[in-house]
Amino acid sequence: MSRMGFKPFHYLSSIFNSGLQRKAKREAFIKGQEDEQMSLFDHIKDLRRHAFRAVMWLCLFSTIAFIFMEPLIVFLKKPYDTVLVSLKEQGITQNLSSISIFEVITVNFKICFLLGFVFSLPFMLYEIWKFISPALYLQEKKIAKLSVFASILLFYLGISFGFFLIIPYFFSNALGWASQYAQVMITYENYFNTLITMLLIFGAVFEVPVILSLLGLAGILPAKVLIQNRRIAFLTCFIIGAILSPPDVISLCLVSIPMYLMVEISIFIIKKIEKNRSENFAEES
């Protein structure tokens, strides 16, 4: 550390630049053109072009979500409406309320933006793929393609798992329990913030195999490290499950067990990656 102190921006910038330099060297090596590798500036321009396209995809799908905002809001309210029907049978009525004039408007815009992100995710990942694919060997490209496809599938699977299975159960238990002690007022913003947060958490949780597999592909996370820490991973999954799920055993298992299965899938994939690498590639000096 210098006398001027730690500079996070400078540190991250140096990591970013060195990463682009390694990509340029690797890409040139794969193409057999070590003397004709792209300059760092060329790589930055290439990255900027793909990043701009990714932002355009996000803007396009956010606009489409805004156009179809009303039916999308009705659909996203279904878990709560389903819970409300069962609660009314118990004499509990907790319709959504708004305490601010602009609350519904701002929340709806936020929902459209996040839906735009969810719908544009495959296209944004494709832009990332187009940027990194020239620096990958043929076998690594096959693995990376599978990882991109799996990341999209698992993200949507995680969101669907949370939306159709966990969230209705969560609201039913939480509202039923809280209503025994107080008159609970659920605002429009509170419901959708909770819904969106939980959906993104479940989508991210189901991304664990892809993230760990990519770390294994880069050689950062060997399979033996995960194998040696299975017990810690198992305990961590149940701790996270206890935080996310309602306070009962069934909900805990519904959240925690799929999370731990993601870790086991990651171990299997990383072991396959390491086996293929040892058979087909020599370590680069």
Mean pLDDT over 159-185 rounds to 81
- Provide the pLDDT for residue 5: 47
Domain that holds residue 164: 40-144+159-205
Quote the CA–CA distance of 270 and 267 in Å, as a whole number: 5
Local structure of residue 6 (DSSP, 8 states): -
Q: Quote the Cα angle for 48-51-53, to 5°.
A: 110
If one compares 105 and 131, the residue with the highest pLDDT of the two is 105
Are 49 and 184 within one domain? yes
Average pLDDT of the chain, as a whole number: 78
Query: Which pLDDT belongs to residue 68?
Result: 96
Place of tokens 């049978």: 89
Q: pLDDT: is 239 or 177 the higher one?
A: 239
Q: Which pLDDT does position 9 carry in this prediction?
A: 64
Residue at 8 is within a domain: no
Any domain includes 32 = no
In terms of domains, do 177 and 268 share one?
Answer: no
**Does the pLDDT value for residue 211 go beyond 70?**
yes
* Residues 91 and 190 both lie in one domain: yes
Give the list of residues 6+ apart from residue 64 with CB closer than 8 angstroms, or none: 116, 119
Instruction: Tell whether the model's pLDDT for residue 106 goes beyond 80.
Output: yes
- What is the per-residue pLDDT for 107? 94
Q: What is the rounded average pLDDT of the residues 218-242?
A: 82
Complete DSSP assignment for 108-121: HHHHHHHHHHHHHH
Question: Residue 263 has what pLDDT?
Answer: 86
Please give the pLDDT value at position 16.
Answer: 59
Q: What stretches of 136-248 show up as alpha helix (H) in DSSP?
A: 138-161, 167-178, 188-205, 208-217, 223-228, 230-244
Distance between CA atoms of 270 and 223, rounded to whole angstroms? 6
End-to-end CA distance of the chain: 28
Of 146 and 14, the one with more pLDDT: 146
Task: Mark whether 189 and 282 lie in a shared domain.
Answer: no
Mean pLDDT of 256-264: 85
Phi first, then psi: give them for residue 177, nearest 5 degrees.
-70, -45
205, 224, 239 — which closes off a domain?
205
Residues 94 and 130 in one domain: yes
User: For the chain, what is the total number of helices (H) and then of strands (E)?
Assistant: 12, 0
Domain count, the chain: 2
User: Would you say residue 167 lies in a domain?
Assistant: yes
What average pLDDT score do residues 181-208 get? 85
Residue 30 confidence class, pLDDT cut points 50, 70, 90 = low
pLDDT at 239 over 70: yes
Minimum mean pLDDT range among 14-28, 111-125, 184-198: 14-28
Q: For position 58, what pLDDT does the model report?
A: 94
Q: Which residue has the higher pLDDT, 70 or 272?
A: 70
Q: Are residues 47 and 129 in the same domain?
A: yes
Does residue 189 form part of some domain?
yes
Q: Which residue has the higher pLDDT, 163 or 278?
A: 163
CB neighbour list of residue 80: distance below 8 Å, 6 or more residues apart:
96, 171, 191
Residues 243 and 200 reside in one and the same domain = no
* Judgement on whether residues 167 and 259 belong to the same structural domain of the protein: no
Tell whether the torsion through CA atoms of 46, 47, 52 and 54 is positive or negative: positive
- Specify if 134 maps to a domain: yes
Mean pLDDT of the region 254-266? 83
193 and 215 co-located in one domain:
no
* pTM score, whole prediction: 0.71
Q: What pLDDT, on a 0 to 100 scale, did the predictor assign at position 63?
A: 96
Are 87 and 54 in the same domain? Answer: yes
| pLDDT (tens digit per residue) in 41-83 | 676 788 888 889 999 999 999 999 999 999 999 999 998 888 8
- Conformational region of residue 5, where left means phi above 0, alpha means psi within -120 to 50, and beta covers everything else: left
- Asked if 186 and 46 sit in the same domain, the reply is yes
255 shares a domain with 177: no
> For a pLDDT cut of 70, what percent of the chain falls above it?
74
In a domain, 25, yes or no: no
Kindly state whether residue 190 falls inside one of the protein's structural domains: yes
What's the pLDDT at 283?
Answer: 46
Q: Looking at the domain assignment, is residue 14 inside a domain?
A: no
pLDDT in tens, 136-146: 677 667 777 77
